[in-house]
Amino acid sequence: MSKSPEQEEHPRKAFGWAARDASGILSPFNFSRRENGIDDVAIKILYCGVCHSDLHLAKNDWGYTMYPVVPGHEIVGVVTEVGSNVTNLKVGEHVGVGAMVGSCKTCQSCQQDLENYCPKMIFTYNSINYDGTKTYGGYSDMVVVNKDFVLRWPDNLPPDSGAPLLCAGITVYSPMKYYGMTEPGKHLGVVGLGGLGHIAVKLGKAFGLKVTVISTSPHKEAEATERLGADSFIVSRDPVKVKAALGTMDYIIDTVSAVHPLAPLLGLLKPHGKLITLGLPDKPLELPIFPLVLGRKLVGGSDIGGIKETQEMLEFCAKHNIAADIELIQMDYINTAMERLAKADVQYRFVIDVANSLSQYVMS
Ligand SMILES: [Zn+2]
Ligand SMILES: [Zn+2]
């Protein structure tokens, strides 16, 4: 009888927190990782952001979770070992690992530095790597990653509040670049002020855009305009403010994952405006065609970004002092953090203080 991947003994002992079933409750978990090969980098994990997809996968919301699952794909750590083929990274350097750790390297997407659209892309956790080992994420003490998926960490980027850039940051940055949403002076609408939305506001300001936050929560206005630097704020249910903003926006980034109407957002766009959706509603949305045709408007999507672009984004954020607004937590707070995340009760990202909070556990 073949062993399941987590029962197999690999050379590297590892320790983290895993969910074992659809309750999504995480608890301490001893496991093992593959040997550090000639193309690999071994990383001691310092910090890991808590992405909304960690919650979905811990609870098997998408139906493909392979338990036990160690979530986490916003990883910042220190290199502890490099394989003989690794020339661009040294022991002791800070590095980052985002949502993917492998791709085929031969398909058209891979050839164009768009590994994130490779049909054989390996996710950082809950995936099976090319060597047959199961991938486990950053809610753990260490990880072994192929060198091509390890990001250099800019010196002046904070390792804790910078961690969420590895998923939330690139998820916003990549479409802004691809869809040409960076022209200074243009007007950007950001729908939803959560993990993605608050970084979209910061990136938008760094690109020189006028930024308006569109939210269902009136109480977020002060945060949006005073703390995050948005130029204006619209409560989406306020007909007067919505009417005043009709036809004023060049671009909209929509981060909402709940089912919601697109027609009002298309109404906010100028002719030739672009609405880019990043959330993943579990049911199809209704797409009105009249405003698209009559205003030559565009609706598009986007998913994280390639490694090269992720590196570029980290350097852009370092240069412009952009990081996430975070609540730093200990590992044993993760179940409470997940409950709060489900209620959007976080400003705006939990980051786990991994190295400090795991050091209290005695390795068995
Ligand atoms: Zn993520
Ligand atoms: Zn590929």
Q: Which residue has the tokens 């590992």?
A: 331
Cα(92) to ligand 2 centroid in Å equals 30
Count structural domains, the chain. 2
Which CATH number characterizes residue 199's domain? 3.40.50.720
Q: Which ligand is nearest to the CA of 105?
A: 2
Residues with CB under 5 A from ligand 1 (ion): 51, 53, 167
Domain check: are 158 and 270 in the same one? no
pLDDT beyond 80 at 101: yes
How many helices (H) and strands (E) the chain has is answered by 11, 17
Domain check: are 125 and 14 in the same one? yes
Domain check: are 296 and 351 in the same one? no
Domain check: are 143 and 25 in the same one? yes
Q: Which ligand is nearest to the CA of 257?
A: 1
DSSP 98-135: -SEEE--SSSHHHHTT-GGG-TTPEESSSSB-TTSPBP
pLDDT for residue 2: 46
Mean pLDDT of 11-28: 96
Mean pLDDT of 111-136: 96
> Which of 268, 285, 301 is a domain's end point?
301
Nearest to 171 by CA among 139, 190, 197, 136: 197
> Which of 260, 286, 301 is a domain's end point?
301
Which CATH number characterizes residue 72's domain? 3.90.180.10
Cα(294) to ligand 1 centroid in Å equals 36
First to last CA, the chain: 27
Domain check: are 295 and 179 in the same one? yes
Domain check: are 204 and 77 in the same one? no
Sign of the alpha-carbon torsion through 120, 32, 126, 327: negative
Residue 315 lies in a domain: no
Q: Which ligand is nearest to the CA of 106?
A: 2
Domain check: are 182 and 291 in the same one? yes
pLDDT for residue 9: 82
Tokens of 89: 């990274």
Mean pLDDT of 90-119: 98
pLDDT for residue 362: 58
Cα(129) to ligand 2 centroid in Å equals 14
C-alpha 56/C-alpha 262 separation (Å) is 24
Cα(132) to ligand 2 centroid in Å equals 17
pLDDT for residue 8: 67
Cα(119) to ligand 2 centroid in Å equals 6
For residue 109, which phi and psi values (nearest 5 degrees)? Answer: -60, -45
CB 346 within 8 A of CB 220: no
Domain check: are 174 and 154 in the same one? no
In 139-245, which residue ranges form alpha helices assigned H by DSSP?
A: 168-178, 195-206, 221-222, 239-244
For 186-216, what is each residue's pLDDT tens digit? 999 999 999 999 999 999 999 999 999 999 9
Domain check: are 160 and 182 in the same one? no
Q: What DSSP character marks residue 348?
A: S
Cα(32) to ligand 1 centroid in Å equals 23
Domain check: are 277 and 291 in the same one? yes
pLDDT for residue 4: 52
DSSP 7-73: GS--SEEEEEEEE-STT--EEEEEEEE----TTEEEEEEEEEEE-HHHHHHHTTTTS---SSB----
- Helix, strand, coil proportions of the chain in percent (round to 5)? 30, 25, 45
Domain check: are 237 and 180 in the same one? yes
pTM equals 0.95
Mean pLDDT of 104-109: 97
pLDDT beyond 50 at 60: yes
Residue 22 sits in which domain range? 5-166+325-358
In 179-238, which residue ranges form alpha helices assigned H by DSSP?
A: 195-206, 221-222
The pLDDT mean for the chain works out to: 95
Cα(83) to ligand 1 centroid in Å equals 28
For 285-327, what is each residue's pLDDT tens digit? 999 999 999 999 999 999 999 999 999 999 999 999 999 999 9
Domain check: are 62 and 178 in the same one? no
Residue 294 lies in a domain: yes
Cα(101) to ligand 1 centroid in Å equals 13
Sign of the alpha-carbon torsion through 48, 52, 55, 56: negative
Residue 205 lies in a domain: yes
Cα(332) to ligand 1 centroid in Å equals 21
pLDDT for residue 112: 98
Cα(74) to ligand 1 centroid in Å equals 7
